[in-house]
Amino acid sequence: MTREQKIYWGAVAGVVLLVGGLMLSTGVEQQLAPEPVAAWVALQPEGAEVARTGRIEIPAGTEFKLHAVMEAKDWSGKTIYFTEADRVVIEGEEIPSERLRRWTREEGPRILWFTVEGTSPYLAFEEAGAVEEFEFREVFRSDWARAWTSPGDLQPSAERQEIRDLVTGLPRFGTQRFHVRIEMFGPKSSITPEVRLRTPGATDLPEGAGDFPTAIASLPGGLEVPSQVFGLSQIEVPAQERVEVAGLLADWTRQRLAFSRLTEVREMLDRAGISYYELQWVDVDLLEGPAWGPQSVEPGDFLRVGERIAIVVADRGDPGVLDRSDLCFDFIKGARVRPLDEIFVGEGLVEWARQTLLPRAVEDESDDR
């Protein structure tokens, strides 16, 4: 064999060995790849050291993170968890740190984030029996990063711009539920996933509400309950049908799944320790309204004309005086933030009641006006 032939065949052998080595290493890598088992959403409020599955309750305006967590089996059969959270609690048990992993493989999974919301902000059923047909939907949040960790967001998918403008200056509040899908791709296709993992979704509600990934952010004091129902569907039935579904709607309101005007007001009053019939209604004129203050108008107080009830939220007009530019919560067709002049139009008096019993001196002063 000539020298040139030896060089040629040596080069061929080198290429064969290189290709074989690459194929072998790829095969070994595939065999050692973790086996995906399940997916979780863990929520981590600002300042918390641990991300947790299930429900968190936070003050309005508190930022929080959503962490995707993938449970998997390694080559030895040991359970490990891939996530970017430093510490994770799943169903009440903290995962040992030695079982947490960051994803470092070249081919990463595709992570898709969803919110889980009622099918409509407002639902009116003609018959009580139809209420049980209430359903949820999974809304893909295309503007969220396809990443292991995403900033949490309470904003409902159907929230209109005018509502966003009105809540400017208020800390973000409301209830939102979350769902994540983790898709793993193999060497055969980068389009069709080989493995799809998903956390509980729309079909798991309302039954699975207790463990569902949920963030509830509340305004303080008398606004705690009404601020929590933002982001939920409002469900109403005719007056003659209310008794039949009262228990169900009250339960859904307590679990922050959906609400009605009556169940929301009743829960507010239950928290305050009074009944609707104990409220002390006082006539006031919004053109020369009562003052804001601890012994007068406060956030969470009620305003009423006929059967229309609104909840006082914030002073936005003349400072220190309740007037038509101030903000309130309104629950006619879904939870809304509105200026008072959008609800109480024209001239005339409006009835005002505090969530707590009105001191006698203040009541007498209001009557003198």
Model pLDDT for residues 288-317, shown as the tens digit of each residue? 889 999 889 999 999 998 888 999 999 998
Q: What is the C-alpha to C-alpha distance for residues 106 and 359, in angstroms, rounded to an integer?
A: 68
Residues 89 and 157 in one domain: yes
Q: Quick one: which of 243, 356, 346, 342 has its CA closest to 302?
A: 356
Instruction: Count the Cβ atoms, other than its own, within 10 Å of residue 63.
Output: 14
- Which DSSP symbol is given to 278? G
Q: What is the C-alpha to C-alpha distance for residues 330 and 310, in angstroms, rounded to an integer?
A: 5
Kindly state the percentage of the chain with pLDDT values over 90. 68
pLDDT above 70: residue 366: no
User: Is 270 a member of any domain?
Assistant: no
Residues 154 and 47 in one domain: yes
pTM: 0.85
Residues 213 and 287 in one domain: no
Element (H, E) at 38: strand 35-45
- Which DSSP symbol is given to 91? T
Residues 204 and 288 in one domain: no
Residues 291 and 149 in one domain: no
User: Is 244 a member of any domain?
Assistant: no
Instruction: State how many domains the chain has.
Output: 2
Q: pLDDT digits over 231-246, tens only?
A: 999 999 999 999 999 9
Q: What is the C-alpha to C-alpha distance for residues 303 and 321, in angstroms, rounded to an integer?
A: 15
Residue pair 301/311 in contact by the 8 Å Cβ criterion: yes
Residue pair 307/300 in contact by the 8 Å Cβ criterion: no
Residues 339 and 202 in one domain: no
User: Is 288 a member of any domain?
Assistant: yes
Q: What is the C-alpha to C-alpha distance for residues 313 and 221, in angstroms, rounded to an integer?
A: 11
Residue ending a domain, among 188, 221, 254, is 221
Average pLDDT in the chain: 87
Residues 305 and 178 in one domain: no
Residues 62 and 134 in one domain: yes
pLDDT, position 5: 57
Instruction: Go through 95-134 and write b for each residue having 16 or more CB atoms within 10 A of its CB, e for each that does not.
Output: beeeebeeeeeeeebebbbbbbbbebbebebeebeebeeb
pLDDT above 90: residue 227: yes
Residue ending a domain, among 156, 189, 221, is 221
Residue ending a domain, among 196, 221, 246, is 221
User: Is 292 a member of any domain?
Assistant: yes
Where are the strands (E) in 46-119, listed by range? 51-52, 55-59, 64-73, 79-82, 88-90, 93-94, 100-101, 110-118
Residues 314 and 183 in one domain: no
Residues 63 and 164 in one domain: yes
Q: Residue 170: pLDDT band by 50, 70, 90 thresholds?
A: confident
Residue pair 44/65 in contact by the 8 Å Cβ criterion: yes
Q: Quick one: which of 290, 293, 311 has its CA closest to 355?
A: 311
Residues 70 and 191 in one domain: yes
**Structural domain harbouring 107:** 35-119+129-221
pLDDT, position 348: 78
Residues 108 and 173 in one domain: yes
User: Is 314 a member of any domain?
Assistant: yes
User: Is 355 a member of any domain?
Assistant: yes
What separation, in Å, do the N-terminal and C-terminal C-alpha atoms of the chain show? 118
Region 269-284 average pLDDT: 92
Q: Where are the alpha helices (DSSP H) in the chain?
A: 3-32, 161-166, 224-228, 242-254, 261-272, 360-367
pLDDT, position 252: 97
Q: pLDDT digits over 128-160, tens only?
A: 999 999 999 999 999 999 999 999 999 998 776
Q: Quick one: which of 186, 183, 175, 215 has its CA closest to 199?
A: 183
